[in-house]
Amino acid sequence: MANALVIAELGDDAKLKKSTLSAISFAKAALPALGGSFSILVLGGAGAELAAEELATYGAAQVLHCVDASLTHYTAEHYAPTVAEVAKGFALLVGTATSFGKDLLPRVAARLDAAYAGDCSGVSAENGRLVYRRPMYAGNAFGSCTLDTPIQVATARQSEFTPAEPVSGASPLAAVPKAAVGAAASRVEFVSLDAVKSERPELGDAKSVVSGGRALKEKFFEVLEPLADALGAALGASRAAVDAGYAPGDFQVGQTGKIVAPALYIAVGISGAIQHIAGMKGSRVIVAINKDAEAPIFQLADYGLVADLFQAVPALVSELKAKRAG
């Protein structure tokens, strides 16, 4: 029997990120091939113990936590040694394919001389082995691979795995020490983080997303913010809108941006380039608003409106407000 270890992701406020729940679902899907159980490792500064207590309700064999002042803000040089040390007792190491997971897990794999499968959209058991499913060519094709090293490392695409739900009972908690870092890593320190702060939901975790394309031009926020506010949605953008300077880079949805799968995705003035579709096609309900009836986005949309977005969106906002008031 072999076991899996899930690496939890925390925000700078030490709160658990929803992306971790997709990694838990991935680990659970891998257990039939492993034959064992899964545990969770939480790293962070003060307050990380609360996240560990929260994760104790998800059915893990144990929740390990490493609390150290140097782990308050993520730096791979300080996280990787501890993760690699703890992972030596497991056959599978799992994270989510967020910026955090994509940065940390390959470094840990290198330390363990372990094979790595990144951005997995599925995992299954075949003849007692784990088979990882990975998207290729902007999600238009999928490939399968197996790993042959004693310890395997993988990251899960958040949009492809339903977030794990709490279960009855509580997992035992155990503290683990921070592993020593090398001379070079010891000189690395967190200085500051410049991030866009918003009262809206984070793009990767939002239940509803309103995204805009280049057609909005300088009125990007003027048109989309009222709709996002009416729905309690996050704001997203196509690469074309970002490249044109109408929206900041952290709004970008697509192959080279963020992968999202909300319950509702509204694409406003987005034609539907293959690179954008790769980042949002897992959304449960897709609504497209575009004046071009031949736009590729309509082939994917559940609901489509061929109209001038500068007229359609304000009208939609008015109807939403009226319905809410009524």
Tell me what percent of the residues of the chain surpass a pLDDT of 90.
Answer: 75
CA 133 to chain CA centroid, Å, is 17
The structure tokens listed for 191 are 């200085």
What is the Cα–Cα distance from 72 to 188, expressed in whole angstroms? 14
CATH of region 2-186, choose from 1.20.1050.10, 3.50.40.10, 3.40.50.620, 3.40.1260.10 = 3.40.50.620
Closest CA to 49 of 39, 70, 63, 61: 63
pLDDT value of position 183? 85
The hierarchical CATH code for the domain 208-325 is 3.40.50.1220
Reported as a single tens digit per residue, the pLDDT across 6-64 is 999 998 788 899 899 999 999 999 999 999 999 999 999 988 999 999 999 999 999 99
Residue ranges, CATH 3.40.50.1220, the chain: 208-325
Q: What share of the chain is helix, strand, coil (3-state, %, to 5)?
A: 35, 25, 40
**Higher-scoring residue by pLDDT: 213, 158:** 213
- Could you tell me the pLDDT band of residue 187, with boundaries at 50, 70 and 90? confident
Measured N-to-C along each axis, helices 309-325 and 220-231 cross at an angle, to the nearest 10 degrees, of 30
What is the Cα–Cα distance from 280 to 302, expressed in whole angstroms? 13
Strand-pairing partners, residue 258, are: 253
Neighbours of 82 (CB within 10 A): 22
pLDDT value of position 196? 64
Helix (H) or strand (E) segment spanning residue 317: helix 309-325
Q: What pTM does this model have?
A: 0.83
pLDDT value of position 59? 94
- Could you tell me the pLDDT band of residue 139, with boundaries at 50, 70 and 90? confident
Type of residue found at 243? D
The structure tokens listed for 253 are 């949805």
User: Is the pLDDT at 1 greater than 80, yes or no?
Assistant: no
Reported as a single tens digit per residue, the pLDDT across 239-276 is 999 999 999 998 999 988 888 989 999 999 999 998 89
Average pLDDT value over all residues in the chain: 92
- Lowest-confidence segment of 95-104, 178-187, 282-291 by average pLDDT: 178-187
pLDDT value of position 61? 96
Residue ranges, CATH 3.40.50.620, the chain: 2-186
